[in-house]
Amino acid sequence: MAMTMGDPSGIGPEIALKAWAQTRDSESAPFFVLADPAHLQRLGRSIGLDLPIAPVEPQNAAAVFAEALPVVPLSAAVSGEPGRPAPADARLTIEAIERAVAYVHAGSASAVVTNPISKDNLYKAGFKHPGHTEFLGELAERLFGQPALPVMMLWSPQLAVVPVTIHIALARVLETLTSELIVKTARITAHDLKQHFGLARPRLAISGLNPHAGENGSMGREDIDIIKPAIATLSAEGIAVSGPHPADTLFHAEARARYDAAICMYHDQALIPIKTLAFDSAVNVTLGLPFIRTSPDHGTAYDIAGTGKASAASLIAALDLATRMARTPAGAAA
């Protein structure tokens, strides 16, 4: 698997080191990191993780994985320090993502696992995408020649959620949310849950938008005019779908037992419950791509970068899930 370093001044490099140390003897697939080997070596020594690092080409990573962390060098050295990002490093962050996807396209890696990026730092360098998810959609089209609608799913053993609208201001949700977008998002979710998670007929719960799912229109008609027609279309296509459900009663244990993924109308409606239930074990998965991509469900954590305090739990969960997805036969029933 190809792992990106993320923002080199964040905790990505540190948790990459810890993930290798904790998984080198496990059943997870071997991985290599796209990074600056000297930066990783310095960082490891500074936090008491003086681990062996082996600069390699992707095809040689598996052979050295048991003895050293395989690192595919980037085109330049990292200039930032932990907690203090350097604008010059933004292009290396982007390079790592582009090359990771290219290695999967070339057959040199089975999946992409990305570490957290700083969108603000990338924006200052001219990055034009709202986030990782949208950039990966462009790379899918550029490298694989396949138009893609990337769909963000946050997955954990307790809960899986998919926001229909993602990295936009709350004020723009109403102008962006359409029946067509809900249908496309749910179709991709159902398809990929079959393809990569082994669910024969995934059950999707569709949340409402307004309090109490609109209370029959008394609290807004969006649930009637936008969400219900989407559910009718999906049901007619044979997808196991229900809703619209009031969001405030959708995430307790009894409700979660009745569905495999919750399709939510906006970012925080989806992410608040899963980050509350599974902050250390949730994984960000991009559906709708011609390749597998997972990521830890947290940010760069500049405040603790370089201190040795960062937990690799979510990154290891992302590696484990990418391994599972890559090994799941398409269409296999769970």
DSSP 125-194: TT--SSSHHHHHHHHHHHHH------EEEEE-SS-EEEESS-SS-GGGHHHH--HHHHHHHHHHHHHHHH
Q: Residue 149: how many CA atoms within 13 Å on its side-chain side?
A: 16
Asked if 298 and 14 count as a contact pair (C-beta separation under 8 A), the reply is no
Q: What fold does the segment set 158-277 form as a domain?
A: Isopropylmalate Dehydrogenase (3.40.718)
Bridge partners (DSSP) listed for residue 321: none
Give residue 4's pLDDT. 97
Which residues of the chain does CATH 3.40.718.10 include? 1-151+289-334, 158-277
Closest CA to 62 of 100, 96, 24: 24
Tokens, residue 143: 């490298």
- pTM score, two decimals? 0.89
DSSP 82-98: TTB--GGGHHHHHHHHH
Amino acid, res. 258: R
Dist CA 254 CA 275 (whole Å): 18
- C-alpha 153: how far from its chain's center? 7
Sequential pLDDT tens for the chain (334 residues)? 999 999 999 999 999 999 999 998 877 789 999 999 999 999 999 999 989 999 999 999 999 999 999 999 999 999 999 999 998 999 999 999 999 999 999 999 999 999 999 888 888 878 888 778 888 999 999 999 988 889 999 999 999 999 999 888 999 999 999 999 999 999 999 999 999 999 999 999 999 999 999 899 999 999 999 999 999 999 999 999 999 999 999 999 999 999 999 999 999 999 999 999 998 889 999 999 999 999 998 889 999 999 999 999 999 999 999 999 988 765 343 3
- Look up tokens 């936009």; give the residue: 168
Q: Which residues of 192-206 are buried (b: 16+ CB within 10 A; e: fewer)?
A: bbbbbbbbeebebbb
Q: What fold does the segment set 1-151+289-334 form as a domain?
A: Isopropylmalate Dehydrogenase (3.40.718)
Strand 2-4 vs strand 112-113: parallel, antiparallel, or unpaired?
A: parallel
